[in-house]
Structure 1
Amino acid sequence: MRELGPTPHARTGSVVGRLVHISRPVLWINTIGTGVVGVWLTGALMDVRALPVLLWLTLPFNLLIYGVNDIYDQETDAANPRKGSLEGARISPSEVQLIAWAVAVVNLPFLVYFALALPPAAIGAILLYAFVFVFYSATPLRFKAVPFVDSLSNAAYALPLVIMPLALGVAPVWPAAVGLMTWSVAKHAFDAVQDIVEDREAGITTTAVRLGPRGVALWSGAWWVLSSALFAQVSVPVAVVSLLIAGVLVVRLLRDPTPGTGHRLYPLSVAYPYLAGSVAGVLLVVGIFFGRYP
């Protein structure tokens, strides 16, 4: 009896599952979580006008970030033992066309809708957000291959704190937005410590490669102190929690400044926005519920 191949439904499910894996769901907190907090900072628990943007910040935008990244990082990813796990996909050249089409198909309808429905300032912030993350990986700009620019460009992770208020016709809470920008600069360099060997061998000079693990601990520590000072203007408890977690990460890396230590600390670094974001979220929701915010 001839064996039957996978059904069209199974093939579709396999493709969708693969694209979800490429989008790194464990890191969606950096986009959707920031977007939700951006809504809460306007003083509303939810606004129906925010839903299209929040939906875009799930699979579509994360597939844009990490799909483009995987296309341009195939050489380094092939030698990186972290890839092929929850920490990131390892793609084959045959998948490039599928990923490129998928990125376009899931993002373009949202961008067209935003162009028609949102205020110009929100549209500008959204376009800046997409531009930075496309050219973080893509040539000819490829920010990730330029030391310090790679880290500084990750300030864009905070843009949902600007996009959501502007989309709802409200002024952003700038200490929170700028605080998250500086926080993101620190976290990018810190997370890149674990990839120093692979990046150096591939000829990519990141901030982490240039500074080395000890230098990154000092660089990231300084940015995290600044971010905590900015967060304190909005919420002292959030600032304290953020500073405590940052302190643990920085001190442990200083004690054993190696890429291996960076890799061992990566799970805590991934948990960092979940922990600090949970504190911020609970305080915001309670404040809104009891009429104490804004």
Structure 2
Amino acid sequence: MSRLQPRSSAFNLLPLRQVLLVSRPALWVNTLGVAVTGLWLSGQLWNMSAGWLLLLVYLSLPFNLLIYGLNDFSDMAEDARSERKGGWQGARLRSGEENSLLWLILALNLPFLLALAWLLSPAAYGVLLLCAGLFAAYSLRPLRFKTRPFLDGLSNVAYALPLLIPALMVGAAVPALACAALCAYAVGKHAFDAVQDIPADADAHTRTVATTLGAPGAARYALAWFALAGALLWPLSPLSSSALWLVCGGMALRLLRRPTSEQAARLYPLSIVSPWIVGAVSGVQLVYVLAKG
């Protein structure tokens, strides 16, 4: 009987629920929404090709599994101490699931990356690879930017870079100002979200921007980046800029008034929906523009 048993659990399938928890569907908007915005800005939103559809599919489950799966793989010690893991805010990997997760990430990402290499232009594909590389470097050694204060947040500009892919693909003007605003927003949001993990990260001796600055300093740091993001967005859309200042600046100010990891955890649901709120405001403007022809 022993000869019939597998030598390792590398090929055991993870339950679908666990796969979805790892990929965090509530956060898919951070990749899909940015790409859709890029399609809109480049005039390709209503000119969908097979390449665009494949890119959007890739930026859903496969790409987010890469982002958060590698993160959960590297953060098993911290996640074991975090009360918020094991539910909608992210998975808590069980012992023996690591190999299965890594194989699944590889199996879901490689085919898409190979196909997109043929469908995207070299510049667009280079940006996609840069995004994947930054997210991998955030979680994996030897770089593991998560443990390098300030680099941890700055590497999160990878969330903004898919905005450039459609323009690079069709030779349209690159939305540099919009991309810069999204970069600033991503850095600020990372710092804000990291505050709730200060106790778990400190117990695991993991240095982050939040453990380095402390809750008050991280709140001020996030507020500064949100202020910059709104300022960069203002020339493009004062309404979207105001929404960003109101929602993101407001939650940073609330954290600054009570700078604790518990307060950050209470505000985290608002942080999760902040892209949806600002995106909805931008979407209303899009519908208005389309209605006006």
TM-score, structure 1 as length reference: 0.92
Give distance in 1, aligned partners of 2:47 and 2:56.
Answer: 11
Residues 58-207 of structure 1 correspond to what in structure 2 (within 5 A)? 58-207=60-209
Cα distance between partner residues in 2 of 1:85 and 1:184? 23
Q: Give aligned pairs, total.
A: 280
The alpha carbon displacement at 1:224 in A equals 0.7
User: 1:164: Cα distance to partner?
Assistant: 2.5
Corresponding residue for residue 6 of structure 2: none
Correspondences of 1:280-291 after superposition (within 5 Å) = 280-291=282-293
Tell me which moved more, 174-183 or 277-286: 277-286
Shift of 1:14: 6.7
> Aligned-pair distance for 1:262?
0.6
Cα offset, 1:246, TM superposition: 2.1
Corresponding residue SS for 1:55:
helix
Residue type of the alignment partner of 1:198: A
Partner of 1:6: none
Distance in 2, matches of 1:14 and 1:117, equals 31
Contact 2:13 2:100 in 1 (8 A): no
Shift of residue 46 of structure 1?
2.9
Equivalent position amino acid for 1:24 in 2: R
Asked if structure 1 preserves the Cα contact closer than 8 Å seen for 2:153 and 2:209, the reply is yes
C-alpha distance after superposition, 1:191-225 (max 9, x if no partner) = 00000011011111100000111111111111111
The CA RMSD over aligned residues, in Å, is 1.5
Cα distance in 1 for residues equivalent to 2:26 and 2:183: 20
Aligned partner of 2:252 in structure 1 is 250
1:41 is matched with 41
Q: Distance in 1 between matches of 2:266 and 2:80?
A: 21
Quote the residue 2:212 is aligned against: 210
Change (3 A) 1:13 1:205: closer
* Runs of 5+ unmatched residues, structure 2: 1-11
**Which residue does 1:236 correspond to in 2?**
238
Matches within 5 A, 1:257-276: 257-276=259-278
- 1:7 is matched with none
Q: 1:29 offset after TM fit, Å?
A: 0.8
TM-score, scaled relative to structure 2: 0.92
- Partners of 1:128 and 1:289 lie apart in 2 by 36
How many angstroms apart in 2 are the aligned matches of 1:59 and 1:197?
30
Given that residues 135 and 141 in structure 1 are in contact (C-alpha distance below 8 angstroms), is that contact kept between their aligned partners in structure 2?
yes
User: Who is 1:21 aligned against?
Assistant: 21
Stretches (4+) displaced over 4 A: none
Task: Give SS of 1:185's match.
Answer: helix
Which deviates further from its counterpart, 16-25 or 27-36?
16-25
SS state of the match for residue 93, structure 1? coil
- Aligned-pair CA distance for 1:289: 4.4
Displacement of 1:13 in angstroms is 9.4
Partner Cα distance (1:122, 1:44) in 2: 14
The Cα shift of 1:71 comes to 0.8
1:15–1:203 Cα change, 3 Å: same
CA contact (8 A) 1:43 1:288 kept: no
CA distance in 2, matches of 1:204, 1:69: 13
Distance 1:290 1:93 in 2: 56
Q: 1:164 to 1:64 in 2, by over 3 A?
A: same
Task: Determine what percentage of the aligned residue pairs are the same residue.
Answer: 45
The answer on whether the counterparts of 2:14 and 2:97 sit within 8 Å (CA) in structure 1 is: no
